[in-house]
Structure 1
Amino acid sequence: MQRYDKYTDSQLAGLLKKGDRDAFTAIYERFFGVLYIHAFNRLKNKDEAKDAIQDLFIRLWNKRDSVDFTNLSNYLYTAVRNAVMNVISHKAVESKYISALPQSIVIADCITDHRLRERQLSEIISKEIELLPPKMREVFQLSRFHNLSHKEIAEQLGISEQSVRSHVKNALKILRVRLGLVLYLVLLISR
């Protein structure tokens, strides 16, 4: 992944068109922050801004071979502007629909929906953790699920504390990239 940091936007766009997943990840890491701020400034809602950006990147990956990336940053800013407009118009329709429903139905639906999403999310996180390399997975699980300190994990596994730190850091980085898109898909599918 290191070598992608040095590529220009045009080079990354070219690699993305060829289906290069690492180039996509590099584009995601390069642009997510600024696009999120741009979306948040318009929507004033963290979750909606994140959802809009995640949706943008899902569409970017799905349409990578048919999109003209003459200027990647312009394409992404235009796409996020359109995504924000879609969120705003969707909220207006949703608000109109919800205000027409009896309040008890809306509350019951929200609780059921929340429990379903929570269960789906838990299953997805577990599956993604299982896909981590064995040693990284073991260190991550001891750290996060058994609440062991880095020192305790190092002693238990006979490795250095620095190795433990590296495993945890790398696991979080992998999960952040994988789950960022996956979580959005779960939310999108369950709507």
Structure 2
Amino acid sequence: MQVKQEYIQLSDLELSSLLSAGDEIAYTEIYNRYHGALYIHVFNKLRHREDSRDIVHDLFISLWNNRDKLVLKTTLSAYLYTAVRYKVFDLISHREVASRYLESVVKFSEQEDGITDYVIREKQFLAIIEQEIAALPKKMRRVFEMSRMGNLSHKEIAAELDLSEKTVKKQINNSLKILRKKLGMAIFTAFIL
């Protein structure tokens, strides 16, 4: 779809309003304005072309699919860069989980048969824990994963996510309360703390 000349002249705010109303030409203009810069931004973080393309592509699909819910509390560019940053975090988090899983499979294959039952139960517990962590609200999960899996301090998380340290601390405490309730004290103490 070709963008009409008058759309090129529109501000981001005007384009956002048109997009929210379902205007495909406004969407195309937003795509044309930001696709290249977002791709470069993601590529500089990941250094992987296909993953970078996929993330930016997913962002624009999500933007279109959720256009009617789009409420900008900041500029369109800030919104897009923040959204793409979360998608990068999600990919990195997924890779870390996959990497840990692969490491556990390798360790499992190297261990003797006598401890097989223990290892299987431990993996089952870890799968349950990962499932409960994944069920946390998105922002809470992100803060929790950065703290527990990324080993970042409250201050580092606050700076990365543009939150106050108090908010980060509260999100982590709330995460721990939810997980403690869902997992039971024994599992929680053994694996989370």
* TM-score normalised to structure 2 length: 0.49
Greater gyration radius: 2
Q: Which has the higher contact order (CA 8 A, sep 6+)?
A: 1
